[in-house]
Structure 1
Amino acid sequence: MVEVFVTLFVIMDPVGTVPIFLSLTSGRSVDHARRAAWQAVTVSFFVIVVFAVFGQGILDYLSISLPALQCAGGLLLLLVALELLTGKDDQPLAANGGNVALVPLGTPLLAGPGAIVATMVFARRVDTFGDLDAVALGIVGVHLVLWLAMRFSLPILKLIRESGVMLVTRIAGLLLSAIAVQMVADAVRAFVEQ
């Protein structure tokens, strides 16, 4: 359980998610932000569980390699990062009635290619009910920490005010773009090594 929890904690990065969460939910009510935190964690949990159980079968059926999945996730994150860096408040997702809790927060930020691949690897190693319990508890535990981090980041929003949110948004955009570029670079490296 500890190995699963620590691995997913490092990959999903609850602390690093907070500035991105604050940026994507700024200008909305506290109730909306709380709902977004809950929805993002629920979506992430659902995606991780589906890929833990059916992941390899889904990728095999669609003839998708893990590097292709990773590259797609990186490109999607890069688009979101560019919107944060350029200061576009009228995000296409919000304008079209989209929900930022689903995309990009729930997936690919929380339940991204790294977390999906790690979960699939842990799921392959399950031989006993004890192993299954350890994987399940690790997944549930990291999602609980993710929810707590986003849920209790809202008082920070009141403290830093609008100018602080703008600064956090630009920093989050920069960090998110670096994560996205790294994901694409790792995918390209994996494609070359195949």
Structure 2
Amino acid sequence: MNSIINISLLSSVFVTLFVIMDPPGTVPVFISLTAGQSRAVRKKAAWQAVLVAFGVIVVFAAFGQQILQHLGITLPALQCAGGLLLLLIALQLLTDTAEDPVQTKNVNIAFVPLGTPLLAGPGAIVATMVFVQRADGKLADVVAISVGIVLIHIVMWLTLRFSGVIMRILGENGVLLVTRIAGLLLSAIAVQLVADAVTDFIQAG
């Protein structure tokens, strides 16, 4: 089984994207943006938002490496920049300083701000690109990354689809607790990315 899929990488991709995209943390935002809408409209917005996020992540996973090569950006540089960006997001989760998305008139909220940048934001995009760069075309790693991306979007869809139920179960304090834990885990991942990048810079120099 390990020759077909890298289980360790799969778990890393899933956990990293989970703490970045923060499914429980999107629940109150989703509910506030779809307040007053019918159940059918909320259901449609849920799958549309996840589909948009999935499309954005896949595009950057598939073509992000070519973009980096064209710009002359190395993997250690991407890792360091990604680590700093993720650390900023983690601090926002820990200190509750992240700005809530604002609904714009005549714009489908499933696309903006739910699909992007709430779900497929800079942090998720950079993290995905770093994983793809590390895989370096290995089949087991590519399969692991693909499965991880699909799984996190399934979880995200289920979270948005049943956001009302989740909100009632967790309550505001429960959502806040999960968000804080996600921020702590994300900060550790960010520091590790920066540390790995510095090590690569030293070895290359």
Question: Normalising by structure 1, what TM-score?
Answer: 0.72
- Aligned counterpart in structure 2 of residue 179 of structure 1, from 183, 189, 200: 189
Describe how 1:41-80 pairs up with structure 2 within 5 A: 41-51=54-64, 55=65, 57-80=66-89
Equivalent in the alignment of 1:117: 133
CA distance in 2: counterparts of 1:3 and 1:101, whole angstroms: 29
Report the Cα offset of residue 71 of structure 1: 0.7
In the TM superposition, what is the alpha-carbon distance from 1:59 to its structure 2 partner? 3.3
Mapped to 2, the partners of 1:39 and 1:75 lie a distance apart of 25
Q: 2:86·2:187 contact (CA, 8 Å) conserved in 1? A: yes
Unaligned 5+ segments in structure 1 are 123-130
Query: How far 1:43 sits from its partner (Å)?
Result: 1.6
Q: Residues 90-127 of structure 1, C-alpha deviation per residue, up to 9 Å, x if partnerless?
A: 25xx3597521221464134x141x22134332xxxxx
Asked if residue 108 in structure 1 is aligned to residue 126 in structure 2, the reply is yes
Q: Match of 1:64, SS?
A: coil
Amino acid at match of 1:102: A
CA distance in 2, matches of 1:118, 1:16: 16
Q: Which moves more between the two structures, 37-46 or 64-73?
A: 37-46
Kindly indicate whether the alpha-carbon contact (under 8 Å) linking 1:82 and 1:177 is maintained by their aligned counterparts in 2: yes
Number of residues of Structure 1 aligned to a counterpart in Structure 2: 176
Q: Which runs of 5+ in 2 are unaligned?
A: 35-41, 105-112
Distance 1:166 1:121 in 2: 39
Q: CA deviation at 1:83?
A: 0.8
Counterpart position of 1:88: 97
- Code of the aligned partner of 1:66: L
SS in 2 for 1:88: coil
Which digits, 9 at most, give the CA deviation of each residue in 1:38-88, with x for residues without a partner? 33322222211224xxx2x54333221110011111111111111111112
Residues 131-171 of structure 1, C-alpha deviation per residue, up to 9 Å, x if partnerless?
6xx88765553332222122223443442021111111111
Alignment correspondent of 1:125: none
Cα deviation, residue 36, structure 1: 3.7
SS of the residue corresponding to residue 153 of structure 2 reads helix
Whether 2:30 is the aligned partner of 1:17: answer no
Tell me, yes or no, if structure 1 residue 149 matches structure 2 residue 149: no
* Pairs within 5 Å for 1:131-170: 140-154=146-160, 155=162, 156-170=166-180
Q: TM-score, normalised by structure 2?
A: 0.69
1:126 aligns to what?
none
Residue identity over aligned pairs, in percent, reads: 35
